[in-house]
Amino acid sequence: MNILILGSGGREHALAWKIAASPLCTKLYCLPGNAGIARVAECAAIDLTDHKAVIAYARDKKIDFVVVGPEAPLCAGMADDLEAAGLHTFGPSKWAARLEGSKGFTKDLCKANDIPTAAYRRFKNAADAKAYVRAHGAPIVVKDDGLAAGKGVVVAASVAEAEAAIDMMLGGEKRAWEIVIEDCLVGEEASFFALCDGDTAIALGSAQDHKRVGDGDTGPNTGGMGAYSPAPIMTAEMNARVMREIVEPTVRAMKAMGAPFKGVLFAGLMITKDGPQLIEYNVRFGDPETQVLMLRLASDLLPTLIAARDGTLKNVSLQLSDDAALTVVMAAKGYPGDYAKCTAIEGLAEAAQVEGVEIFHAGTKADGGRILANGGRVLNVTARGKSVREAKDRAYTAVDRIRWPEGFCRRDIGWRAVERES
């Protein structure tokens, strides 16, 4: 089969690495890709907002199956347009992608279907939102209703901080058309992934990521500075509860409203003293969680993605290695603020020789024989090990072989799990 992946980040490189190993994959393509993906797939610089150009490319390359990586094309109806053009596609419809595209939609769905989540209110007016915050008090969470590249959430420790977030989202330039304000849940966060075919959902695995930019979980939120899998708090019993109480009711509800969900459902969870609570849904593979999941996945990914599209997941079982996996994000200095581009990265070949290590490119481009940084999050140095500690040691051994003065990383990825193992 000729396979096309859409996207250019570390998630797409990890998917490309895994799909390229499938016996079903004859030729792999990626739009637009990056320097790492180009080693396993043929890439082309086509803008993913141009659906007609993507369709024309897929037809020209005789593509049999398309895998959509990022959320923005899904929320813009990419899967619908590809399917309408006769191209079989993994990823939810625009209607189903509202689970990520609108936080308010998802909160309303949870409320209507008794899916555990924090109490909330929706606001389009800053004055009304501020009045609610003053009456409710802090800590409290303020969320942009729409897509915000992982940066549309403010966990406000004070009323003043919440009001500033409201002004940022609804005041002045009005970045958001609506916001959601919700209670601040207390517990431990985890990421949980399930593949869905509109009727059936099967668990893919769990992970925990590190959102803040600095060691000790300090500094501003980012798209993710590292992750590890499995999440220690996600026991077999907790996994079963998440499927029973959160994922399966969501799949049933989406089918009942005429928008069956086909794709990967990424549940951001808070594990509280009362059990799992849904923080938010994403409708695509996580980044950087995909990088660790792909290292642990013992099954062939491609036929599973095809089964999700075709509605035959009930016939599929997935096998994950008992090994742990951990990824360290190397980012350009200054991220998540302003950062320099086109700085040279050396030592990747030496780093990749560390046992159990795979290096996934997130924001790179090739310049002749050189690899240049071309984004904020640039590399995902990922490793497997018998324990999180072993995976961490291997990942940082590889990091230390990479020569990139303009880059940085956190040095404490996986600290919670390592403490548990001690």
The answer to whether the beta carbons of residues 67 and 82 sit under 8 Å apart is no
State pLDDT tens for residues 53-111: 999 999 999 999 999 999 999 999 999 999 999 999 999 999 999 999 999 999 999 99
Q: What is the pLDDT of residues 198-231, one digit of tens each?
A: 999 999 999 999 999 999 999 988 889 999 999 9
pLDDT of residue 174: 61
Rounded CA gap, 79 and 66, in Å? 9
Q: Which two tokens stand for residue 29?
A: 């393509």
Q: Where in the chain is the domain with CATH 3.90.600.10?
A: 324-421
Digit-coded pLDDT (tens) for 358-376: 999 999 999 988 999 999 9
Which of these, 80, 67, 73, 84, lies nearest to 30 by C-alpha position? Answer: 67
- Has residue 47 got a pLDDT over 70? yes
Closest CA to 313 of 303, 323, 328, 300: 303
Top CATH class of 324-421 equals alpha beta
Helix %, strand %, coil % for the chain, to 5?
Answer: 35, 30, 35
Q: Tens digits of per-residue pLDDT, 292-318?
A: 999 999 999 999 999 999 999 999 999
Residue 42, strand partner residues? 29
Residue 220: what pLDDT? 86
The answer to whether residue 422 scores a pLDDT higher than 90 is no
Closest CA to 374 of 53, 32, 76: 32
Dist. CA 285–CA 34, nearest whole Å: 18
Query: What CATH number was assigned to the domain covering residues 2-93?
Result: 3.40.50.20
All CATH 3.30.1490.20 domain ranges of the chain, comma separated, are 125-177
The answer to whether 173 and 132 are in contact (CB under 8 A) is no
The domain defined by 188-315 folds into D-amino Acid Aminotransferase; Chain A, domain 1 (3.30.470)
Comma-separated ranges of CATH 3.30.470.20 domains in the chain: 188-315
Q: In sequence order, which residues have a C-beta less than 8 Å from that of residue 56 and are 6 or more positions away?
A: none
Residue 172 has pLDDT above 80, yes or no: no
Query: What is the predicted pLDDT for the residue at 66?
Result: 98
Residue 173's DSSP bridge partners are none
Could you read off the pLDDT of 319-347 as tens digits, one per residue? Answer: 999 999 999 999 999 999 999 999 999 99
| 92 upstream amide cis, omega within 30 of 0 | no
pLDDT at residue 177, rounded to an integer: 85
| Cis bond before residue 405 (omega within 30° of 0) | no
Alpha helices in 122-198 (DSSP H): 126-136, 159-170
Q: Quick one: fold of 125-177?
A: Dna Ligase; domain 1 (3.30.1490)
- Can you give the pLDDT at residue 173? 64
Q: Do 373 and 343 meet the contact criterion of CB atoms below 8 Å apart?
A: yes
Do residues 279 and 268 touch, judged by C-beta distance below 8 A?
A: yes
What rounded mean pLDDT belongs to the chain? 95
Give me the residue label for tokens 């799992």. 276
**pTM, entire model:** 0.95
Residue 149: is its pLDDT beyond 70?
A: no
